[in-house]
Amino acid sequence: MAVHRLKSWKEFKQKFAECGATCVLYAIEDYPLGEPPISLRLLFTCGRDTYVLSDFARGNRMRLTGIPIRPGRGGIPYVFYEDIEAFIKRELGPNVRVVDFTMTTFL
């Protein structure tokens, strides 16, 4: 039962395929050092292990994945579910489930 921190999208994609995983969970979090101050955590499980990729905002895209950052409510920059889902399905396959894990990280 270990947490593996992955450093690149390529590594995440490779491990995901090796594990035969079918679901990616994500959490959008504040990251005060980012510009805009957003981070995106992508994760999946393989057996009892968890694999995590932390991506940070750089301009109008996430640095590692290139997922776009768009204005949300009140013009505040945000990463939308639709953009995350489109990226995951394009990169990992159309049958991969994408689950918002954001609120559960606070419990």
CATH of the domain at 26: 3.30.720.90
pLDDT, mean of residues 72-87:
93
What pLDDT is attached to residue 107? 44
Residue 35's domain comprises 3-97
| pLDDT band at 72; cut points 50, 70, 90 | confident
pLDDT, mean of residues 54-81:
93
69, pLDDT greater than 80? yes
User: Which stretch of DSSP H or E encloses residue 62?
Assistant: strand 61-62
Name residue 38's beta-bridge partners. 30
Task: Specify if 15 maps to a domain.
Answer: yes
Task: Specify if 107 maps to a domain.
Answer: no
Burial label, 51 (beta-carbon count in 10 A; 0-12, 13-18, 19+): buried
pTM exceeding the 0.85 threshold for the entire prediction: yes
Distance CA 63, CA 43 (A): 16
Task: Specify if 46 maps to a domain.
Answer: yes
